[in-house]
């Protein structure tokens, strides 16, 4: 089994010396291929920052991050964009579909940036929409869809380039419990098909669906940083360095 | 790009323009007005200039060098030499022609007089044009009826006359003027021809600007010189050299000037008038108008461009999230930049096409109301379009660059 996410002593500091905010204080996290990981933590814990770094939307201040074998730190904006395009699929709480583009075009967009030809783009987009069960809406605009349907489109779009990592940020946050459950079923299905999932949530019942829970508090991993640790969690407040020592056991 | 990314960008840009129609029209308006004003301005000045060229052609061509006599003045008084001087003479014409016989296509002389002209119907004080050489074609005249002067008549100063249409009408309102006799001063002359009517209206509906050319009463120059106000020196009022080769004109003018000055005891009692040079001067005045028109067009484009930047920057605020989403999906800053540029340039293209149409309409209306034929050159189109493209590109750069520099994470969180 190959490693998808591997971070070591990841820190993120915002602002200058005097008023610096330490959003992340040394994160060690390993996620293997095919895992379904729930990232939990209260607001302000740094999980959004971590999510942004894991999704290559942002770079860490210090520490190393390797995504599917590619070291990420020190990359330029353009290189980061390519890694996001090829390796990461995002699903957002607010769907973030482009309102002026049809459903099919929304799904095609990541393939367009990857340089996939027009016909193949269309075929793959239709196959993905089939997979999430809304192929009949391909030529509709996002505005005409319900929340659950929009989130399915977002999932199809996230899968467009067969990413190594699927990152979902509160994917059911804007949905009612029934449609939310349906979307979660979709995620479980994707997990069973071998996709690697990282799901950010604050809802314990959703986190319970995941194979592993990683809890963040005050910019540090308090539980579940390594796969083997997931059940026998280290006590809260453990220094990240200790996690570091456990790597490769 | 093998994936048709350009076509996709173009399509995306078109969707964006269509979705924000009001904003897009406002953006295109600056370009549109700029293009229309450059094209319109150029076309109007081109039309005017071409009409003027047509006038000069109708006057007998541009390839002429006139020599006329002038008072030689020193310290505000006529010089003693001037008073003893002989003025412009036949010798000057003959000497001038000898200077560049191969380049000169024709020489015409003119010797005018004022005299009483009497027929059975009319009795008027008129100007008499004594003409010699190629005067008739060189000045755009043509004999409509009857015939021109024969070489013998020219040489001997025979008492024959060719009338302009107005003169023919005044002196012979009834019946045919041909073959009739007219008295100029005390000399009876026979009418042997009538000139074609000369008509030129610079602008439609204007009076005939060549009307006075129809008043001509033309006799052989030798007749005037010998029998009306002649003198032993055979002075003339004007000599015209016709030189089709414009390149030879300048050198010839210099040589001629030296020759005539030498003939005239070094008195500058003559004036050279290079018609082509006069037109060049007039054209360079036209260039000033072109610059003014271009400047006003450029100012419209700059104004429009600044408005565009403002609109784009305001629009960008609404679209930060969209940019963030695209970036999250893997669009690089370069890709975002290209997207915004494509949009702005598509707007520029559409705006300038509309501007070209408007410019044509604008020039058509103005030239119509001036009453001159519309004349547009491809160069005006190229200028108008090129300027719009350049300014459209220039002013699109900043908002596109700004958009491409957004941080994907902050853009995604932007509300």
Q: Which two tokens stand for residue B310?
A: 């403002």
Determine the Cα–Cα distance for residues B34 and B29; give it in Å rounded to an integer. 8
- How high is the mean pLDDT of chain B? 86
B325·A121 Cβ contact <8 A: no
Beta-carbon contacts of residue B30 (< 8 Å; ≥ 6 apart): B300, B301, B303, B304, B305, B307, B308, B351
ipTM of the complex: 0.86
Q: In Å, how far is B395's CA from the nearest CA of chain A?
A: 24
Determine the Cα–Cα distance for residues A45 and A48; give it in Å rounded to an integer. 8
Determine the Cα–Cα distance for residues A230 and A211; give it in Å rounded to an integer. 9
- How high is the mean pLDDT of chain A? 86
Assign B357 a pLDDT band (cuts: 50, 70, 90).
very high
Q: In Å, how far is B335's CA from the nearest CA of chain A?
A: 8
Contacting B with CB below 8 Å, chain A residues are 52, 55, 57-58, 77-78, 81-82, 84-86, 90, 92, 96-98, 100-101, 109-110, 112-118, 121, 157, 161
Beta-carbon contacts of residue A157 (< 8 Å; ≥ 6 apart): A89, A97, A106, A107, A109, A110, A128, B329
- Give the per-residue pLDDT at B79: 65
3-state secondary structure of B296: helix
Predicted structure pTM score: 0.74
Beta-carbon contacts of residue B211 (< 8 Å; ≥ 6 apart): B166, B198
Beta-bridged to residue B124, according to DSSP, are: B117
- Give the per-residue pLDDT at A245: 42
The helix (run of H) or strand (run of E) holding residue A213 is strand A212-217
The verdict on B10 touching A (C-beta cutoff 8 Å) is no
Determine the Cα–Cα distance for residues B390 and B34; give it in Å rounded to an integer. 12
Sort out which chain A residues have CB atoms less than 8 A from B15's CB and list them.
Answer: 100-101
Determine the Cα–Cα distance for residues A84 and B327; give it in Å rounded to an integer. 8
Of A78, A90, A121, the CB nearest to B333: A78
Sort out which chain B residues have CB atoms less than 8 A from A157's CB and list them.
Answer: 329
Among chain A residues, the shortest Cα distance to B339 is held by A113
Handedness of CA A75, A77, A80, A86 (dihedral sign): negative
Residue A1: pLDDT above 80? no
What size, in residues, is chain B? 415
A112·B325 Cβ contact <8 A: no
Q: Which of B410, B414, B405 is nearest to B333 (CA)?
A: B405
Q: In Å, how far is B323's CA from the nearest CA of chain A?
A: 10
- Give the per-residue pLDDT at B72: 67
- Give the per-residue pLDDT at B171: 94
Determine the Cα–Cα distance for residues A75 and B276; give it in Å rounded to an integer. 69
Average pLDDT (B349-366) is: 92
Number of neighbours of residue A14 by Cβ within 10 angstroms: 11
The verdict on B15 touching A (C-beta cutoff 8 Å) is yes
- List pLDDT tens digits, range B177-202: 999 999 999 999 999 999 999 988 88
Least confident of A50-59, B231-240, B290-299: B231-240
A77·B332 Cβ contact <8 A: yes
Q: What domains are defined for chain A? A: 3-246 (3.40.50.300)
Between B36 and B89, residue with greater pLDDT: B36
B5·A117 Cβ contact <8 A: no
Average pLDDT (A150-179) is: 92
DSSP string, B90-155: HHHHHHHHHHTTTT--EEEEEEEEEEEEE-SS-EEEEEEEEEEETHHHHTT--EEEE----HHHHH
Average pLDDT (A164-193) is: 91
Of A57, A100, A161, the CB nearest to B328: A57
Between B209 and A90, residue with greater pLDDT: A90
Determine the Cα–Cα distance for residues A11 and A241; give it in Å rounded to an integer. 13
Among chain B residues, the shortest Cα distance to A96 is held by B325
- List pLDDT tens digits, range B225-239: 888 876 666 778 888
B407·A161 Cβ contact <8 A: no
The verdict on B322 touching A (C-beta cutoff 8 Å) is yes
């Amino acid at each position: 089994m190959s490693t998808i996410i591997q971070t070591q002593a990841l820190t993120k500091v915002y602002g200058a010396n005097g008023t610096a905010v330490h959003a992340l204080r040394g994160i060690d996290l390993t996620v293997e291929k095919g895992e379904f990981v729930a990232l939990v933590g209260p607001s302000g814990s740094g999980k959004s920052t971590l999510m942004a770094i894991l999704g290559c939307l942002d770079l860490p201040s210090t520490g190393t991050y390797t995504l599917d074998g590619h070291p990420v730190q020190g990359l330029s904006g353009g290189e980061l964009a390519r890694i996001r395009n090829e390796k990461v699929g995002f699903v957002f709480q607010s769907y973030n579909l482009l309102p002026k583009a049809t459903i099919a075009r929304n799904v095609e967009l990541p393939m367009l940036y990857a340089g996939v030809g027009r016909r193949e783009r269309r075929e793959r987009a239709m196959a993905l929409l089939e997979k999430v069960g809304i192929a009949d809406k391909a030529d509709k605009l996002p505005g005409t869809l319900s929340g659950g349907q929009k989130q399915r489109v977002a999932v199809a779009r996230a899968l467009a380039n067969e990413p190594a990592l699927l990152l979902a940020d509160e994917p059911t946050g804007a949905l009612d419990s029934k449609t939310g459950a349906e979307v979660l079923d979709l995620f479980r299905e994707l997990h069973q098909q071998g996709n690697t999932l990282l799901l950010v949530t604050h809802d314990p019942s959703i986190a319970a669906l995941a194979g592993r829970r990683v809890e963040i508090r005050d910019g540090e991993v308090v539980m579940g940083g390594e796969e083997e640790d997931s059940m026998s969690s280290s006590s809260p407040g453990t220094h990240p360095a200790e996690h570091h020592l456990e790597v490769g056991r | 790009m093998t994936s048709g990314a350009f076509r996709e960008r173009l399509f995306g840009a078109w969707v964006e323009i269509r979705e924000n129609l009001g904003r897009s029209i406002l953006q295109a308006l600056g370009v549109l007005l700029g293009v229309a004003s450059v094209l319109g301005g150029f076309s109007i000045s081109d039309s005017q200039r071409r009409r003027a060229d047509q006038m000069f052609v109708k006057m007998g061509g541009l390839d002429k060098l006139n020599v006329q006599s002038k008072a030689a003045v020193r310290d505000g008084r006529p010089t003693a030499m001037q008073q003893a001087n002989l003025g412009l003479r036949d010798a000057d014409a003959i000497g001038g022609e000898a200077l560049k016989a191969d380049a000169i296509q024709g020489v015409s002389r003119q010797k005018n007089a004022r005299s009483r002209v009497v027929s059975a119907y009319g009795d008027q004080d008129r100007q008499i044009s004594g003409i010699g050489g190629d005067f008739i074609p060189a000045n755009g005249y043509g004999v409509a009826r009857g015939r021109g002067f024969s070489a013998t008549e020219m040489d001997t100063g025979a008492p024959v006359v060719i009338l302009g249409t107005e003169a023919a009408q005044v002196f012979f309102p009834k019946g045919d003027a041909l073959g009739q006799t007219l008295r100029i001063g005390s000399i009876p002359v026979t009418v042997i021809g009538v000139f074609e009517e000369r008509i030129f209206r610079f602008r439609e509906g204007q009076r005939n600007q060549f009307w006075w050319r129809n008043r001509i009463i033309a006799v052989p120059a030798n007749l005037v010189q010998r029998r009306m106000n002649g003198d032993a020196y055979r002075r003339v009022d004007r000599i015209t050299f016709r030189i089709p080769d414009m390149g030879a004109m300048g050198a010839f003018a210099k040589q001629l000037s030296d020759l005539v000055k030498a003939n005239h005891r070094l008195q500058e009692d003559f004036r050279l008038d290079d018609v082509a040079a006069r037109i060049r001067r007039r054209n360079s005045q036209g260039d000033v108008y072109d610059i003014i028109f271009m400047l006003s067009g450029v100012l419209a484009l700059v104004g429009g461009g600044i408005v565009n930047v403002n609109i784009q920057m305001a629009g960008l605020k609404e679209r930060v999230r969209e940019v963030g989403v695209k970036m999250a999906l893997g669009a690089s800053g370069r890709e975002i930049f290209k997207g915004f540029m494509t949009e702005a340039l598509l707007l520029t293209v559409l705006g300038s096409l509309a501007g070209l149409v408007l410019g044509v309409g604008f020039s058509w209306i103005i030239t119509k109301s001036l009453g001159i034929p519309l004349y547009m050159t491809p160069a005006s189109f190229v200028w108008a379009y090129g300027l719009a493209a350049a300014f459209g590109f220039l002013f699109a750069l900043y908002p596109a660059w700004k958009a491409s520099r957004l941080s994907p994470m902050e853009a995604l969180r932007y509300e």
